[in-house]
Structure 1
Amino acid sequence: MPANTAESAAMERAFSLALRGPRGINPQVGAVILSPDGDILAEGWHRGAGTPHAEVDALSKLAPGEAGGATAVVTLEPCNHTGRTGPCSEALLDAGVARVVYAVDDPGDASSGGAERLRAAGVEVEAGVRADEGRALLRDWLEVQRLGRPRVTVKWAQSLDGRAAADDGTSKWITGPVARADVHVRRAGADAIVVGTGTLLADDPALTARQPDGSLSDHQPRPVVLGARAVPAAAAVHRHPLPLLHRDGRDLAAVLEELGGLGVQRVFVEGGPTLASAFVRAGFADEVLAYIAPVLLGGARLALGDLGVDTIAQARRLSVASVERLGDDLLIVATMQHEGEN
């Protein structure tokens, strides 16, 4: 039976509850328990790895038997496996829930199957309620499940003729203040920001996300520096509110795996050209942000280096998602199509 008005409203409430939980290895999930008359009996959300899942959190606020005949409205399909906590499908069955409404199917091989388990036990299940909103809420987590690693955005700023710096190495500032402010907004949306030691030693970046007035944004990406050279003790990155992760960067897959294990879902690669090229060449660039300034520099300091492209047939082709004017500059956002994708 399709979701009724009370269940749709409860799903909207569950979305807002989900956002109270932390981003990380586990998805943000919210749950609302409705009485047979459509009244809210309890609410819950997932507070992070090792804590009760949203459904169990909501059920814990009810007396034994109070959920009998109730409807559970959940943003993600109830899990069907035992990890740090037990399966939510079994908890719902034990509580006597008669109907389950959820937005998004669980993509995990081990954790999915909760809907099937509930139906087999006689519980009415309605899937895909407000699914577009549910997928938007879980977009980054779902992408991590699909890719098996964090989603990577590679950003660079360049002159109109494709240079990242003048021949003497200076690059502040190729783009204008509007474009630079946009970068900080996107930094604040990431979980980790990555630069190479060359950029760190040349520019001494703080790697923080800042507001136009210079104050720190509420959300900060974790600073990551890749390269064999040492990070100076006086480097600005040491004053970042989050601890620095410094790796030699020779194994980008291992770096992404480590970041994923730390709960990172979105990685923002700021370069320089050597590092940006390495991520593209390795096939780890999912999105590209190219900030293009109306200046000409010439010279050898290209925005990208060797990508492993020897002939036009090997060109890395992208799909342009948007083109935006930022002051005098342009921002082109493009997505990379990986091998095997349609």
Structure 2
Amino acid sequence: MITPVPRLADTSTAVRRAFDLARRTPVRGPNPRVGCVLLAPPATAGESGRRVLAEGFHRGAGTPHAEVDALVAARQRGADVRGATAVVSLEPCNHTGRTGPCALALAEAGVAEVVYSVPDPTPRAAGGAAYLAARGVRVTGGVLRDEGEELLGAWWSAARAGRPYVTLKLAATLDGRVAAADGTSRWITGPEARAHAHEVRARVDAVAVGTGTVLADDPALTARTPDGLVPDQPLRVVVGRREVPATARLRGAGGELVVLGTHDVAEVLAALHAREVRHLLVEGGPVLATAFLAAGAVDELHAYVAPVLLGSGRSALGDLGVGTIADAARFTTSQVRRLGDDVLVVARTAGRPRTEEE
């Protein structure tokens, strides 16, 4: 049986196919999720759609970018890409990092047209569209841009802001407590909520807590499944000036331990940005959570609410300096999900893209 050659009806269909390919890219890491489709020159009269020559996507830091991956796939199939159209979910890069510039690769391969969804927001990599146009390649950008930005999620926000996208996790009782009067806090939420929190850890680049939480709870800050640790662990970040005990679980198996001896949120974000952290999960405690909120550095909230009442004990947050309801920190709810007996509320600041959680 002869397998029919795939065809795509129009440009929007091809862009959405590039989005599907991009979703195969790892969520974590410094690079964006990008997909590429190479289309044959326009069909002759009587033929419908554009023939797909090859497809590609980025498989992680240090591997070929989506455009080069697609060009390699075309070469392996013996497909001629001269005069082809490259449809990409993100503007082809124009810099040399771990790999070479994709704009140059496309131009030298003889591609006649490039269609992309989202302009590259990073000063270092942007400029691919202008380079291609200067080489005589027809370039169209901004196709289905809103969908493309949503796909890029935390990476897109981090690239534009020059700092990690910050998700703040709160796990509290109905009356806003994170610990009882005697300091005990395990467990406020149930197993389903805790399992979900581990899924989120597995998708972020780093997990941060304050030294108070380290000393009080001795967390491991690992991402686990019922079968054990996931293979690729996030950085474990401790913020504060107190020492991490030599016997702390943070010094055991898991991701690299990074201790940042500061209380300045801007310094924390700058240090993690320099380490190519694109998505930071802040897990607490209340002092660190309050500091990030007070600094206006929280992009997304994950509030796990348990049907539990304590009446006293430690509050989820400290003083934010809000004196009147008009000054309250407000977020937009994007998801409400039941996890066993608990409820997860996901809320974002205005203008922030959805992350892989949603």
TM range (shorter): 0.7 to 0.9
Contiguous gaps of at least 5 residues in structure 1: none
Secondary structure of the 1:172 match is coil
Which moved further from structure 2: 200-209 or 26-35? Answer: 26-35
TM-score for the superposition, normalised by structure 2? 0.80
Give the letter for the 2:182 counterpart: D
CA separation in 1, counterparts of 2:104 and 2:196? 46
Asked whether the equivalents of residues 304 and 343 of structure 2 are also in contact (C-alpha less than 8 Å), the reply is yes
CA separation in 2, counterparts of 1:141 and 1:261? 14
Asked whether the equivalents of residues 24 and 262 of structure 1 are also in contact (C-alpha less than 8 Å), the reply is no
Alpha carbons of structure 1 residues 21 and 314: separation in structure 2 relative to 1, 3 Å: closer
CA separation in 2, counterparts of 1:198 and 1:111? 40
Report what 1:200 is aligned to.
Answer: 214
Report what 2:348 is aligned to.
Answer: 335
Asked whether the equivalents of residues 44 and 58 of structure 1 are also in contact (C-alpha less than 8 Å), the reply is yes
Aligned match of 1:158 in 172, 175, 178? 172
Contiguous gaps of at least 5 residues in structure 2: 1-6, 44-49, 352-358
Aligned match of 1:75 in 78, 83, 89? 89
CA separation in 2, counterparts of 1:286 and 1:302? 21
Secondary structure of the 2:30 match is coil
CA separation in 2, counterparts of 1:328 and 1:181? 13
The yes-or-no answer on 1:251 pairing with 2:264 is yes
Report what 2:296 is aligned to.
Answer: 283
The yes-or-no answer on 1:55 pairing with 2:60 is no
What root-mean-square deviation, in Å, do the aligned CA atoms of Structure 1 and Structure 2 show?
3.1
Secondary structure of the 2:208 match is strand
Alpha carbons of structure 1 residues 17 and 28: separation in structure 2 relative to 1, 3 Å: closer
TM-score for the superposition, normalised by structure 1? 0.84
The yes-or-no answer on 1:112 pairing with 2:126 is yes
Report what 1:302 is aligned to.
Answer: 315
Asked whether the equivalents of residues 228 and 248 of structure 1 are also in contact (C-alpha less than 8 Å), the reply is yes
Secondary structure of the 1:103 match is strand
Secondary structure of the 1:164 match is strand
Deviations 1:173-220 (A, max 9, x none): 112222222222222222111111111122111111222x25223543
CA separation in 1, counterparts of 2:334 and 2:184? 30
Give the letter for the 1:298 counterpart: G
Alpha carbons of structure 1 residues 230 and 52: separation in structure 2 relative to 1, 3 Å: same
Aligned residues: 335
Q: CA deviation at 1:279?
A: 0.8
Asked whether the equivalents of residues 15 and 134 of structure 1 are also in contact (C-alpha less than 8 Å), the reply is no
Give the letter for the 1:165 counterpart: A
Alpha carbons of structure 1 residues 21 and 309: separation in structure 2 relative to 1, 3 Å: closer
Report what 1:5 is aligned to.
Answer: 9
The yes-or-no answer on 1:177 pairing with 2:194 is no
Alpha carbons of structure 1 residues 236 and 182: separation in structure 2 relative to 1, 3 Å: same
Q: CA deviation at 1:255?
A: 1.6
Alpha carbons of structure 1 residues 92 and 323: separation in structure 2 relative to 1, 3 Å: closer
Aligned match of 1:269 in 264, 270, 282? 282
Secondary structure of the 1:298 match is coil
Q: CA deviation at 1:84?
A: 6.5
